[in-house]
Amino acid sequence: MKPSLRSRQEPRRVSNGVIIGAMLLSLCVLSIVKARYCATPFGKAEDQLQEQMNASIRMETDESPARTPGEEEEDEPEEVPSTALAVTTPAAVSTTTGGKGRKAGKDRKGKAKPTCYTTSKRSERCDASGDIRVDGNRSTIYVSGIDREWRTKPYARYHDPVAMAHVREYTLKPLGAAGDAAPACTKNHSVPGFMFSNGGFSGNLYHDYTDVLVPLFISTHQFKGRVKFLLSGMKPWWVAKFTPFFQQLTRYDVIDVDNDQEVHCFPRILIGATFHKDMGVDPRRSPGHVSVVDFKRALRRAFGLEREAASRGGATGTGKPRLLIISRRGSRRFLNERDMARAAAEAGFEVRVAEPDQHTDMATFAKLVNSADVMIGVHGAGLTNMVFLPRGAVLIQVVPFGGLEWLTSVTFKDPAADMEVNYMDYNVKLEESSLIDQYPRNHQVLTDPYAVHKQGWDALKTAYLDKQNIRVDLDRFKATLQEAMSRLP
């Protein structure tokens, strides 16, 4: 009786074990499949793919085809102290040491000590007081009270080795070090010096603001003009373009530190501006708790922009709101621009079409943008002119086909709200894109944009930014204009 009972129970135990094993195996397979195929490519900030893309993206213009929008990051608290920096590679970023770094202060002998520290994942600063001698011809700054060399690059894009390769490195050396006699002062200054660079991607309007001008405002507005700018990598045409803005931050002419034959001596030197976020300011971290609205006010003063608020009645005496269409010559251009202008006029707008480039007079174009109530353009550096829009104006960003919403959000959508600008997307459908004429209907570029994204920034840029133009659906465009009109004050 017992043997027969055992013989009936053993197969059942074996069968249960097989079933349990099969279930565990199925769960493992499902987990792998979900991780490989079901994850949303850009749904979460911690997604590895997005991190990789964010580290690569740059803003492209027709004038600089080899250069390509800034990336979205979670910033570290401002002025996180770090170890003494010896930056030997363009992308190097200092690491913190237990939260205790060398702050600017005095040692036991009363000598001033410099400190270099990261202010975000993209920027670092060196700050020194005492006997400071700047010898730009040798890319050297002699500082009293330090016992070792420190090296830094004064440009707020430390995460990007391509940009940093075009930024000159400066070395802070101990004053009076053996075998390295410091040069005598030929120009003495009674106010602090602030060094920054317009190397990197400067010349591209988006990078001018994101990497240089906004960080410069964050870092120097509190001096109330009593600071001298030392500019490395100076491009005279670039300085002339933004001189009205610099005059809001300093009372003095900008010094071409790389080529100046003087040895400039300061009571204090600050090197490198603080980055907060793309095209933006974090009031919680900025001296005086200023915001990007304060930055816009400085721009308005600099370029004599009198119009503070947009209106359905417009600002030109016509009783109509003004629509500004940002035109492009190369890729991502409107193929039916004239039809768009005609449709906008029929919808009740006074229409202007303009194409900014590196040679555009900044003051003249700023006034044109400031006169607009609605501005529309395809994703690109030209939309950076949103900084001149009056409060309550509407910005319409035309998002090219290809799943680029994450990119267009970081560069212009997110900053718009802080700038008191109403933001709207116009997402291009496949039928409106020139890509439909360039690829077979079953091509991956048309059917699976995220598969192209996974190939990296260069593949994405080539497919959806370099080769794409847009023929706007006029019915959709008219509906968009009606909504923009309704959002105006």
Instruction: Report pLDDT for 53.
Output: 57
What one-letter code names the amino acid at 203? G
Q: pLDDT digits over 80-127, tens only?
A: 333 344 333 333 333 332 233 334 444 444 444 447 889 999 999 999
Residue 81 CB contacts under 8 Å (≥ 6 apart), including other chains: 96, 97, 99, 100, 101, 102, 103, 115, 117
Tokens 């930055």 -> residue: 295
Q: What letters, b where the CB count within 10 A reaches 16 and e where it falls short, cover 64-90?
A: beebbbbbbbebeebbbbbebbebeeb
Predicted TM-score (pTM) of this structure: 0.81
> Euclidean distance between the first and final Cα of the chain, in Å?
93
State residue 75 phi and psi, 5-degree precision.
-80, 150
Asked if residue 114 lies in contact with residue 104, where contact means CB atoms within 8 angstroms, the answer is yes
**Helices and strands (H and E) in the chain: how many:** 15, 18
Instruction: Report pLDDT for 116.
Output: 86
Per DSSP, 455 falls in state: T
Sign of dihedral through CA atoms 415, 417, 420, 421?
A: positive
Distance CA 256, CA 230 (A): 6
Asked if residue 444 lies in contact with residue 372, where contact means CB atoms within 8 angstroms, the answer is no
Instruction: Report pLDDT for 356.
Output: 86
SS3 (DSSP) at 376? strand
Asked if residue 116 lies in contact with residue 146, where contact means CB atoms within 8 angstroms, the answer is no
Instruction: Report pLDDT for 451.
Output: 97
Per the prediction, the chain carries an average pLDDT of 83
Instruction: Flag residues of the chain having pLDDT under 70.
Output: 1-22, 24, 26-57, 60-114, 177-180
Asked if residue 337 lies in contact with residue 327, where contact means CB atoms within 8 angstroms, the answer is yes
SS3 (DSSP) at 5? helix
Instruction: Report pLDDT for 60.
Output: 61
Asked if residue 325 lies in contact with residue 341, where contact means CB atoms within 8 angstroms, the answer is yes
Distance CA 65, CA 204 (A): 11
Tell me the pairing of strands 115-118 and 124-135.
antiparallel
Instruction: Report pLDDT for 4.
Output: 45
Instruction: Report pLDDT for 87.
Output: 36
Sign of dihedral through CA atoms 342, 343, 347, 352?
A: negative
> DSSP letters along 146-169, please?
-SS-EEE--SS-TT-HHHHTTS--
Tell me the pairing of strands 140-143 and 124-135.
antiparallel
User: Considering only CA atoms, which of 172, 240, 221, 166 is closest in space to residue 197?
Assistant: 166
Tell me the pairing of strands 105-106 and 112-113.
antiparallel
Instruction: Report pLDDT for 20.
Output: 67
Residue 14 CB contacts under 8 Å (≥ 6 apart), including other chains: none
Q: How many CB atoms lie within 10 A of CB 297?
A: 15
